Structure 1
Amino acid sequence: MQQLLLDIRPPAQPELTRFVAGRNIELMAQLQAMLDGGAAERMVYVWGAPGSGKSYLLSAWAHACRARGMAVELGGQQAAQAVIADQVDAWSAEQQRAGFAAFNRVREAGGLWLAAGNAAPVDLSVMPELKTRLGWGLVFQLHGLDDAEKRAALAQHAETLGFRLEPPVADYLLNHTARDMQSLLRMVEALDRFSLETRRPITLPLLRQLLQTQA
């Protein structure tokens, strides 16, 4: 009989050390330099397709800033020691004006700024002044992971949940479920919960059964 569990574990905290850099080595080095206080440029904009990992990266960097005792502002609407602004391409006109003002204050104060969107600054549908500001610092395209890098990321996430993801299970996930990283990570978490509920080890047959229940 399936055991119903109340999952009281906190969600896995995004960590920079768990982010598989892949082709994004220069971006990761820049973010680390900003954390360590050795970066010549302290304003960074990251762009990439939905599902490329931007939100995870920004959350992980925010966590790293807080761990170093910085005051962090999420949303990009107010100034702080470290400002993290996700999905700037979806900002309303009012948010754009507030973000523009916050950017100027952060830059003048020597703070840290990390923003992300689905397109490069020049291609954003935002007010020209904000578009210019977002392009003032360093701009990086966040490259998606190849299959080998995705397997590594899934294995790392499984370790944070307390189990080892066997290669056949990871391969099946890549070949039979949505391939963006957010969906893949959610499937790993669902597989972990299903394993606990059924009191069965995480195997390929268990994954197939889970997918059948979701069909």
Structure 2
Amino acid sequence: MQQLLLDVFTPPRPTLSNFLVGQNGQLVHELQLMLNKQGTSPFMFIYGPKGCGKSHLLRGVATQLGVTVTAGSNRFVFKQGEQALVIDNIDLLTPYSQVQLFNAFNSSLAENKPGKIILASEFPTPDLKLRDDLRTRIEAGLCLRVQPLSDQEKHEALQAVARSRGLQLSEEVIEYALRYFQRDMGSLMAVMDGLDRFSLEQQKPVSVHLLRHWMKRRESLVIREYETRTV
């Protein structure tokens, strides 16, 4: 149940503007250029380990393009006339879906539709188990690694967010959050949102004691919801 508690925090809606850049300034800049039709290529592939922010970037880009993110594990069928494609976990594409994506690349090159193809995976292109001709298409565009935030960068980001909200966070509170909650920044930002609201409700400054109190309340809510669903 404790793990369930730590997984229930809902991150804020992902956008490029609320992505914590860290060492990814060039990557975010290239995405913005692509969205503004100023990029050097209509194709981009981003990769990096779990929790580094790939899904955040894809969802932010998809929202601006007015499309949805396609999961690589789902059956993908390319439809002529699509304006943009955003696909996550392309390493999970089936042979059929790989052919469909290859067709999308060819359509883009011939007819400029889709005008943008943005893909992501945990793995760099040499490690992707894809058709050679599809891998060649992907590598013809921009291929950029998403660099995870270091603990120091996460620490600084939490302090910056806290200051923007008028909150005072002690080193103890930050260390506690980094130790006991999911360490991706989306989840940590969701923790900050909830803790901010709880601090205002209780009219108390943020402290480890308040954080633990809030966690207990969240745990009781999660337990009640879980019991309601299983009755």
The residue identity in structure 2 corresponding to 1:106 is S
Tell whether 2:46 aligns with 1:46.
yes
C-alpha distance in 1 between matches for 2:193 and 2:168: 11
Q: What displacement does 1:127 show? A: 2.6
C-alpha distance in 1 between matches for 2:28 and 2:190: 24
C-alpha distance in 2 between matches for 1:149 and 1:77: 40
Structure 1 length-normalised TM: 0.75
Tell whether 2:69 aligns with 1:74.
yes
- Once the two structures are overlaid, the 10-residue window that deviates more, 38-47 or 104-113, is 104-113
The residue identity in structure 2 corresponding to 1:95 is S
SS at match of 1:50: coil
Q: What displacement does 1:23 show? A: 1.1
Q: What displacement does 1:32 show? A: 1.0
C-alpha distance in 2 between matches for 1:139 and 1:125: 16
In structure 1, the residue matched to 2:90 is 88
The residue identity in structure 1 corresponding to 2:34 is M
C-alpha distance in 2 between matches for 1:39 and 1:179: 32
- Return the index of the structure with the highest Cα Rg: 2
In structure 2, the residue matched to 1:17 is 17
Deviations 1:145-167 (A, max 9, x none): 1234324544677799x774735
**For residues 180-195 of structure 1, what are the structure 2 equivalents within 5 Å?**
180-189=184-193, 191=195, 195=198
Q: What displacement does 1:179 show? A: 2.1
**For residues 99-138 of structure 1, what are the structure 2 equivalents within 5 Å?**
99-110=101-112, 111-138=115-142
Tell whether 2:140 aligns with 1:145.
no
SS at match of 2:12: coil
The residue identity in structure 1 corresponding to 2:85 is V
Aligned-pair identity (%): 30
Unaligned runs of 5+ in 1: 1-9, 67-71
Tell whether 2:211 aligns with 1:207.
yes
C-alpha distance in 2 between matches for 1:50 and 1:26: 20
Cα 1:93–1:21 change in 2 (3 A) is same
CA contact (8 A) 1:88 1:117 kept: yes
Cα 1:11–1:185 change in 2 (3 A) is closer
Cα 1:64–1:170 change in 2 (3 A) is farther
The residue identity in structure 1 corresponding to 2:135 is K
Tell whether 2:68 aligns with 1:64.
no
The residue identity in structure 1 corresponding to 2:69 is L
Structure 2 length-normalised TM: 0.71
Unaligned runs of 5+ in 2: 1-9, 71-75, 220-231
- Once the two structures are overlaid, the 10-residue window that deviates more, 202-211 or 87-96, is 202-211
Of 174, 199, 204, the match for 1:170: 174
Deviations 1:124-155 (A, max 9, x none): 12232322222120100100012343245446
Cα 1:180–1:165 change in 2 (3 A) is farther
Q: What displacement does 1:175 show? A: 2.9
* Count of residues in Structure 1 that have an aligned counterpart in Structure 2: 199
- Once the two structures are overlaid, the 10-residue window that deviates more, 47-56 or 184-193, is 184-193
Cα 1:129–1:16 change in 2 (3 A) is same
CA RMSD of aligned residues (A): 3.2
